[in-house]
Each structure stands twice: as C-alpha cells, then as structure tokens.
C-alpha cells in the first residue's frame, strides 16, 4: 500500500471514529444538574399558616394554605402547586417549576397563578439555612421586583416571607410557616 493510500485510510478511519463519537454523544440523554439535589428539602406535602398585612395587595389577615412539591419532568424540575386562603378573599392557586441553570449557575423558578400573576425569579442557592429567590414579577397588572425567602427551621418546618419593592424599600406581602402535612 502506498503512503498516500495509508494516509487516506487513516484519515477515513479517524473520520468514522469521530462520527461514531458524535453519534454516541447525540444519542446519550442529558442528565439533571446535580444541584437539583439541593431542592430535596422542599419535597412533599405541606400545610402553611401565616398572615398578610394590610397594604397594596389587599386588606390583610390570617392565611392558611397548602403546598405539594415533587421532582418531575425527568428530574430536571421541581414542580408544585400552592393554594392559599384568607377570609373574605378568593382562594389563590398557583403552580411553580424550579430548575438549575448550569450556564447562569442559578436556580430559576417559573410561577403562574389564578389571578393572572406570573414571575421568573432566581436564586444563587442556599446561604446557610435560607434560600432567597428574587426577580421580576407581574401582579395585578403591575410589574414589580419581588423576593421570596425560605428559611429552614430546626424542627423541619419552613418560614416563607414574600416581599416586594416599593419606593426603593422592601415591603412584606406575607409571612407563613409551613410544616409537613400529616
């Protein structure tokens, strides 16, 4: 075999090997980010009690609610449903999907509710026992900056504080404690 033929055969073999590797990579399924494991404390069914102060979001009062949260969509998302009631107000229902974005190195939560509200908020992750999500939210026809702080308690419960920014200051929209449902 001539040198030119040998080079051609080697080039062809290298091209076939490269094509085989590309096909193997294309057919292998992506895996959820390992950071998704950090959302495990939110898994399960929860009962919540709290209060909403009177203010721009309504008259205020005691709140009760529930949260169902689980890993879904192949492990790429944590999905959940939230309901909350307050005397004299319609029941609020919402759904969320949370994932980890490895490019931005942040958790991303998508939220929609039965009052026309929606949000795309993000978090850097746990800082001690607290995880804070913040970003732009649309409620009652208004765009606002909001944050939700979830703090783990020693007894396994969570404290949740929802805030919005008004005139450069954080204003509490509601606070609640959520415990695992029996």
Helices of type H across the chain: 3-27
Which residues in the chain come in under a pLDDT of 50? none
Given this model, what pLDDT does residue 138 score? 96
**What does the H/E/C string look like for the chain?**
CCHHHHHHHHHHHHHHHHHHHHHHHHHCCCCCCHHHHHHHHHCEEEEEEEEECCECCECCEEEEEEEEEEEEHHHCEEEEEEEEECCCCCCEEEEEEEEEECCCCEEEEEEEECCCCEEEEEECCEECCEEEEEEEEEECCEEEEEEEEEEECCCCCEEEEEEEEECCEEEEEEEEEEEECC
Q: What is the pTM of this model?
A: 0.81
Looking at residue 7, what is its pLDDT?
58
Query: What are 94's strand-pairing partners?
Result: 82, 113
Q: What is the pLDDT of residue 59?
A: 79
- The C-alpha atoms of residue 177 and residue 65 are separated, in whole angstroms, by 10
């Amino acid at each position: 075999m001539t040198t030119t033929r040998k080079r051609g055969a080697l080039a062809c073999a290298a091209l076939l090997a490269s094509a085989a590797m590309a096909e193997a990579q294309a057919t292998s399924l992506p895996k959820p980010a390992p950071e998704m494991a950090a959302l495990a404390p939110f898994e399960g069914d929860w009962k919540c009690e709290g209060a909403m102060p009177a203010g721009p979001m309504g008259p205020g009062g005691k709140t009760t609610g529930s949260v169902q949260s689980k890993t879904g969509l192949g492990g790429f998302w944590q999905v959940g449903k939230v309901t909350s009631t307050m005397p004299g107000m319609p029941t609020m229902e919402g759904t969320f999907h949370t994932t980890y974005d490895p490019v931005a190195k942040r958790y991303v939560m998508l939220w929609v509710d039965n009052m026309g509200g929606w949000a795309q908020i993000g978090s850097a992750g746990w800082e001690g026992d607290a995880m804070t999500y913040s970003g732009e939210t649309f409620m009652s026809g208004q765009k606002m900056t909001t944050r939700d702080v979830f703090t783990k308690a020693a007894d396994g419960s969570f404290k949740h504080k929802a805030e919005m920014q008004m005139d450069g200051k954080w204003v509490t929209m509601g606070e609640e404690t959520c415990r695992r449902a029996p």
